[in-house]
Amino acid sequence: MADINKIAELIKENYSKNGCMDYAIRSLSDDENYQVGDQCRESYEWDYEDDISTYNTTGETAGGTCGTHITNIWGNEDDEEIAEA
């Protein structure tokens, strides 16, 4: 597992490069390889009726990337605040 303080440091470093304000952690498929600040490919919706990803049913996508939201960055947070989030 990655060190949370290192993740906070990378988020802070990359904020100034791409101006992204929302950060999340997401598990990756075997064919994905991203760096902090990269935009991930679009996620699939959830088929609640069949309790399975729409990847396996309709193929409907979510219109963006899903992840576990950890923080919004406004540019003045320190690494400790980010790590705590």
The model's pLDDT over 4-25, given as tens digits with 9 standing for 90+, comes to 777 777 777 766 565 566 677 7
How much is the pTM?
A: 0.55
Would you state the pLDDT for residue 1?
Answer: 45
Residue 13 is predicted with a pLDDT of 74
Spatial contact of 68 and 27, defined as CB atoms under 8 Å apart: no
CA distance 24 to 4: 13
End-to-end CA gap in the chain: 17
pLDDT of residue 73: 62
**H helices present in 1-85, as ranges:** 4-18, 79-84
* Ranges under pLDDT 70 in the chain: 1-2, 14-22, 36-37, 71-85
Q: Quick one: pLDDT at residue 78?
A: 64
60 in Cβ contact with 54 (< 8 Å): yes
